[in-house]
Chains A and B, each alone.
Chain A
């Protein structure tokens, strides 16, 4: 009986604040007639969907390559490992809005990047201008790479701790090169960690929006940013919820997709 009283408050709380809003959100999105019609008729929606997809497709492979490299570097026990580790994980606690503002100081027209270029005698460039969609995308990509790689890194480091060094050493004794060991010994054992990280990162990447808002305003719309626009500026909570449900559906589809793809 006692255990029930310990666990019950959390169940009540989670039902009231997770399950209930979810159900009422679905009902809300489907109740107003033409809600989804309005959503798909808005050109911003498609642009946001395209940008979100592009960002995820470009970001996730880069991020995983960087995070695995960082984890392997840490495994070699470099000098000043403590300091490096601290710097590499600091972005864990930095929000996407903060990351956007940090990189704004670099990419803005009279910011640090152009200052460095100017000093080097190179002409300034409008990195965040609507006229230059590719560098705008690049700025958001770099800011997200900077902010969110730490999460993958930490998960991979924790996973590497479970990979016994003996396996690796045994392979080395039999003459395997570093690449062969990485490919056939280390990476296969990291698979469960990578799978978790992949699901988590994709879900979180789908939710990114403030980083783009801080860097570009609405010039580089992302899906969740559009819910904010519909709710806040256009005062239409129904369409906002409809877009939110699209994000939720994409999260679920991506998670199931990864689970199937990486099934042992």
Chain B
């Protein structure tokens, strides 16, 4: 039996190494000086750490702008998808209505739609509406991508708050809105925050739609993709680290909610 435990431990360590070593290496590459990146073989230990590669990356054209666009679009997407998704998630959790099943199936079906199918026609429409190459246009697309998930996650969260508490508040004279804000919202807040982070990461990572809908106001990934072929390796490594860092932080925060978000709700 102990032999079996050893095999399990060993396999776990091997999988962890497979996941962690590439992240270690991209971090090492992005934090190495230009000079040590030119060396071959590359040092495998952090012996000559320097911020040079990262600073050069941040000073390159379009990077800080892309960073600002990415953050602006990410935050706007969070706000917009919560503004539209929270009420719908609440209604889904609390009320029975005609067409509820069709509505839920419709939400799930949107996941089968490749982003490209939406982006190209949207690009044409946005051109007519003056939304092409704006952060608003990309925000709309990202909200459309995040909305089904937001609705399904928030409805699962609201299902976990007993409706009796809300009814009790209303018996004591609170309006439905006050009852929601004072009674339901505080209990649902951690879950909503996790769903908001999920939305932000989705927007942060999305590259194809953002590339198609913009020309000058690119997000960071779109900027990286557009300049991929003509940029030096050091630039690409620094860009890789810049894209990976939020993922490390995000997963550390929402670990507790992961199984619900990706595992069950997303079915």
Residue B243 lies at the interface, judged by CB distance under 8 Å to chain A: yes
| Given known A-B contacts A10-B147, A155-B263, A241 and B121 have beta carbons under 8 A apart | yes
A209 CB within 8 Å of chain B:
yes
Distance in angstroms from A30 CB to nearest chain B CB is 13
Q: Which residue of A lies closest to B85 (CB)?
A: A10
Whether B221 contacts A97 by the Cβ 8 Å rule is yes
Give A1-59 interface residues, CB cut-off 8 Å to B.
2-7, 9-11, 13-14, 17-18, 20-22, 24-25, 28
Pick the interface stretch among B103-111, B159-167, B188-196: B103-111
Contacts of A7 in B (CB 8 A): 87-88, 91-92, 97, 103
Measured CA separation A66–B16 after assembly (Å): 12
Q: Which of B38-46, B61-69, B71-79 lies at the interface?
A: B38-46
Cβ contacts A244-262/B at 8 Å (1 or 0 each): 1101100110010000000
A93 touches B246 (CB 8 A): yes
In the complex, B252 has a CB within 8 A of chain A: yes
User: What is the CA–CA distance of A58 and B40 in the complex, to the nearest angstrom?
Assistant: 33
> Per-residue CB proximity of B245-267 to A under 8 Å, as 1/0?
01110111001001110111011
The answer to whether B110 touches A25, judged by C-beta atoms less than 8 angstroms apart, is: no
A122 CB → nearest B CB, Å: 11
Of the candidates B88, B117, B252, the one whose C-beta lies within 8 Å of that of A21 is B117
**Chain A residues with CB under 8 A of B212:** 228, 231-232
Chain A residues lying within 8 Å of B111, measured Cβ to Cβ, are 200, 203
> Per-residue CB proximity of A190-221 to B under 8 Å, as 1/0?
00000010011001001101100110010000
- In the bound complex, how far is the Cα of B98 from the Cα of A87, in angstroms? 44
Question: Contact mask B77-103 → A, CB, 8 Å, 1/0?
Answer: 000000011011011101101000001
- Interface membership of B171, Cβ < 8 A: no
A102 touches B120 (CB 8 A): no
Residue of chain B at shortest CB distance from A243: B116
Is A167 an interface residue, CB under 8 A from the partner?
no
Which residues of the partner chain B approach A79 to less than 8 Å between Cβ atoms?
9
B residues in contact with A159, CB < 8 Å: 263
CA distance A95 to B225 in the complex (A): 12
Interface flag for A84 (CB, 8 Å): yes
Select B26's contact among A93, A96, A105, A155, beta carbons within 8 Å: A105
Is there contact, CB below 8 Å, between A154 and B116? no
Does B25 belong to the interface (CB within 8 Å)? Answer: yes
**Set B19, B25, B117, B148: member contacting A91, Cβ < 8 A:** B19
CB-CB under 8 A from B41, the residues of chain A are 114-116, 118-119
B42 interface neighbour in A93, A102, A110, Cβ under 8 Å: A110
Complex partner residue of A158 from B29, B229, B259, CB under 8 angstroms: B259
Residues of chain A within 8 A of B90, CB atoms compared: 6
Residues in A whose Cβ lies below 8 Å from that of B135: none
The answer to whether B114 and A97 have CB atoms under 8 Å apart is no
- Alpha-carbon separation in the docked complex, A215 to B201 (Å): 23
Inter-chain contact A103/B22, CB cutoff 8 Å: yes
From known contacts A114-B41, A158-B259, infer whether A86 and B252 are also in contact, taking CB-CB under 8 Å: yes
- For residue A136, CB closer than 8 A to chain B, the reply is no
Which of chain B's residues has its CB closest to A25's CB?
B121
Counting CB contacts under 8 A, is B185 at the interface? no
Expressed in whole angstroms, the Cα–Cα distance for A7 and B207 within the complex equals 29
Q: Which of B16, B120, B176, B228 counts the most A-chain CB atoms under 10 A from its CB?
A: B120
Q: In the complex, which residue of chain A has the Cβ closest to the Cβ of B110?
A: A18
CA distance A118 to B250 in the complex (A): 36
Q: Determine how close the nearest CB of chain A comes to the CB of B103; give it in whole angstroms.
A: 7
Q: Convert B16-36 into 0s and 1s, putting 1 for each residue whose CB lies closer than 8 angstroms to a CB of A.
A: 101110110110010000000
Instruction: Determine if B25 and A17 form an interchain contact, defined as CB atoms under 8 angstroms apart.
Output: no
Q: Are A111 and B88 in contact (CB under 8 A)?
A: no
**Most chain-A Cβ atoms within 10 A of its Cβ — which of B90, B91, B208, B248?**
B208
Minimum distance in angstroms from A181 CB to a CB of chain B:
14
Chain B 182-217 against A: per-residue CB contact (8 Å), 1 yes, 0 no?
A: 000000000000000000010011111001100000
**Minimum C-beta distance from B209 to chain A (A):** 11
Q: Among A83, A103, A111, A196, which residue has its beta carbon within 8 angstroms of that of B267? A: A196
Known: A155-B262, A241-B121. A88 touches B110 (CB 8 A): no
Query: Is there an interface contact between A14 and B121, defined as CB atoms closer than 8 Å?
Result: no
The 6 closest A-B pairs by CB, nearest first: A158-B263, A101-B240, A95-B205, A115-B41, A93-B247, A17-B144
12 A-B contact pairs sorted by A residue (CB < 8 Å): A2-B176, A6-B90, A20-B125, A21-B117, A21-B121, A28-B120, A90-B23, A93-B205, A101-B243, A217-B228, A217-B229, A251-B112
A: residues with CB less than 8 A from B are 2-7, 9-11, 13-14, 17-18, 20-22, 24-25, 28, 66, 69-70, 73, 76, 78-80, 83-98, 101-106, 108, 110-112, 114-116, 118-119, 146, 151, 154-155, 157-159, 161, 196, 199-200, 203, 206-207, 209-210, 213-214, 217, 224, 227-228, 231-232, 237, 240-241, 243-245, 247-248, 251-252, 255
